[in-house]
Structure 1
Amino acid sequence: MTMALHIKPSLNDWLIKLSNIEIPAMQYTLDQMTHLKSKIDDISIRDLSQLIRHDPLLTLRLIRFQQEHRRAVQTSDVNTVDHVLLMIGMAGFFREFSTMPAIENTLHQSPSALISIKKIISRSYLAARIAESLGGQRHDVDPVEVITASLLHDLAEILLWLIAPELAQQIALHIQRHPGSRSHDAQKLILGFTNNELQTALAQHWHLPALLTHLMDERHIDEARVRTVTIATSTARHLVHHWQDPALPDDYQNIADLLSCDGDHAYALVRNVMIKAAHEWSWFSVLPVASQIPQQ
């Protein structure tokens, strides 16, 4: 499954490679699916939706499934997990997705890659929670759309660790050995393109909903909804480094500008999200960011 390191695949090569693999989910996600399936008569669409939003890979497969099976009479995209579930039903969901492979099995020979993927998935969930809070305070037209876009924002990075962990490790080591270097530059050096470019190309290749693709595209940063997604993912990325990351003050200021509030309110918002997200650390087997919060 791993790409050869002596050849630098083109962006199109990556699209073909990623389109020919079966996307897995976390084992914990699959275990929760089994639990909910056992009491299908007592659960709701919301219960399933809450499960799915923890796992960006399952979310991706669900949205791709809907796009691939959309009917000719469907004239608009379905942009949220809830709406997809309403269309395929709970029984349809379990029928199609209960047999997904587990990341743990896919990467059983690459334990370091498995740890890295779980950290990124945990970070993606954290970004979605931050986006949920920002969208709620902004009275966004549909906060679930920015939540979904934030959850999927770093899919290219997750998929890189999944099928080419050596290349992903090269990028991580380059950044580590060159303090102050930008991740985009390291990606360009190792891959020949950035994760954002791969992400945009994948979204178009897989015909993901145009709105979600747009919300994840940082080239449209002048739009408030795109800025919400970008700020949420940036803040989550810096938080997982450590609570005193030097880039965080800029994140708080960006939040303050977005919400027209002061810096203290922005910090409190992020801190509250961290504490809530920490209660679900076992889903990802990753130490929660809230454990690093300085005592007041």
Structure 2
Amino acid sequence: MPRSKIQLLELESSQGEKLSPLELADIAAADPFLCLRLLREAEGRRVQRLAHETTTPLAAVMQLGSDTFRKLLMACPETNEANPGLAECEARSHLASRLALRWGGARADISPDEIAMAALLAEIGELLLWSFAPELPMAAQAALRSGHSPRSVQAQVDSCGFRFKDLTLKCAAIWNLPSLLPQLIRGIESPRANLARISIDAARHLSTEGPDSPALPADIAEAKHVIPSASLEWLTEQLPGLDSEQVSRIAFKASDLIDPTHL
């Protein structure tokens, strides 16, 4: 995304020195295209060195080195931020990543950054379509808006013949991404994978339907099953842009889904 280059130059100008690996990783963690590019580059070098898999933005920066990161970022072609479909999908990916990081931390996960990275890259198939074949996601959106397809995934299958997530997983296999990431993106094989999937679903529901989305309470109820130590209110508060009344309403409906007898 163009903002990543701007952010790098602004931070370098304000600090007057090289950025730390953690600061560079924070830039990558907010940009799915950049994160993917770094990951592919780092994994290519890892295969040669037979090191551990690269599963977080910080690990990718450490694998490449700060100078290589900077050269790679500044040489990257830029996406078209004027494409509204791409911008919306990218913002949704970033939101899913932030949710995964917050919820993963509450679960005391061994590496919340891994779950966040999976959430960030889970929409890469759709992002590629918006970049190179926008007529496909546009057709899926039209099917959803018309009511011909009741859910976004069904709209994708009806209009394009495949789920966009399947394209993400196919690309992950072609690019030889670390095996952990597809497992987390699938969202069904472990509590960590479930948390990644819930984060992605909640980000989609909040972004496309707003805080009144009827699916959000179910997302929060699912998150509660994965993170039993967290309260429904706290889980809901991690959704950005909600006021206290909206938080209470969503948490109450989630509680009702978990235990209908609580009324």
Tell me which interval the TM-score lies in, with the shorter structure as reference length.
0.7 to 0.9
Q: 1:36 aligns with which of 5, 11, 15?
A: 11
Q: 1:71 to 1:206 in 2, by over 3 A?
A: closer
Q: 2:228 aligns with which of 250, 260, 276?
A: 260
Q: 1:84 to 1:147 in 2, by over 3 A?
A: same
Distance 2:142 2:244 in 1: 24
Q: 1:53 to 1:290 in 2, by over 3 A?
A: farther
Amino acid at match of 2:191: A
Partner of 1:229: 196
Q: 1:50 to 1:40 in 2, by over 3 A?
A: farther
Q: 2:213 aligns with which of 225, 234, 245?
A: 245
Distance 2:229 2:189 in 1: 19
Gaps spanning 5+ residues in structure 2: where?
249-263
For residue 46 of structure 2, give the secondary structure of its aligned residue in structure 1: coil
Query: Structure 1 residue 85 and structure 2 residue 53: aligned?
Result: no
Amino acid at match of 2:151: R
Q: Deviations over 1:143-195 (max 9, x none)?
A: 11111111111111111111111111110010111176122222122222111
Partner of 2:39: 63
* Superposition deviation, residue 41 in structure 1: 2.5
Are the equivalent residues in 1 in contact too, given 2:118–2:184 (CA < 8 A)? yes
Q: 1:293 to 1:34 in 2, by over 3 A?
A: farther
Q: 1:74 aligns with which of 50, 53, 58?
A: 50
Structure 1's consecutive aligned runs of 4 or more residues displaced over 3 angstroms after TM superposition are 36-40, 289-296
Distance 1:270 1:291 in 2: 10
* Superposition deviation, residue 270 in structure 1: 3.2
Q: How does 1:186-225 map to 2 (within 5 A)?
A: 186-218=155-187, 221-225=188-192
Are the equivalent residues in 1 in contact too, given 2:185–2:193 (CA < 8 A)? yes
Amino acid at match of 1:81: P
Are the equivalent residues in 1 in contact too, given 2:183–2:193 (CA < 8 A)? yes
Q: How does 1:1-296 map to 2 (within 5 A)?
A: 26-38=1-13, 39=15, 41-104=17-80, 111=82, 114-178=83-147, 181-218=150-187, 221-240=188-207, 241-261=209-229, 265-274=231-240, 289-290=241-242, 294=246
Distance 1:78 1:124 in 2: 20
Give the length in aligned residue pairs: 246
Higher relative contact order (CA 8 A, sep 6+): 1
Are the equivalent residues in 1 in contact too, given 2:183–2:189 (CA < 8 A)? no
Q: 1:50 to 1:167 in 2, by over 3 A?
A: same
Are the equivalent residues in 2 in contact too, given 1:34–1:98 (CA < 8 A)? no
Partner of 2:256: none
RMSD between superposed Cα atoms in Å: 2.3
Amino acid at match of 1:92: T
Q: 1:199 to 1:40 in 2, by over 3 A?
A: farther
Distance 1:28 1:58 in 2: 11
For residue 55 of structure 2, give the secondary structure of its aligned residue in structure 1: coil
Amino acid at match of 2:181: L
- Greater shift, 62-71 or 140-149, is seen at 62-71
Q: Deviations over 1:104-161 (max 9, x none)?
A: 3xx7xxx4xx112111111111111111111111111111111111111111111111
Gaps spanning 5+ residues in structure 1: where?
1-25, 275-288
Distance 1:42 1:171 in 2: 44
Q: Deviations over 1:3-26 (max 9, x none)?
A: xxxxxxxxxxxxxxxxxxxxxxx2
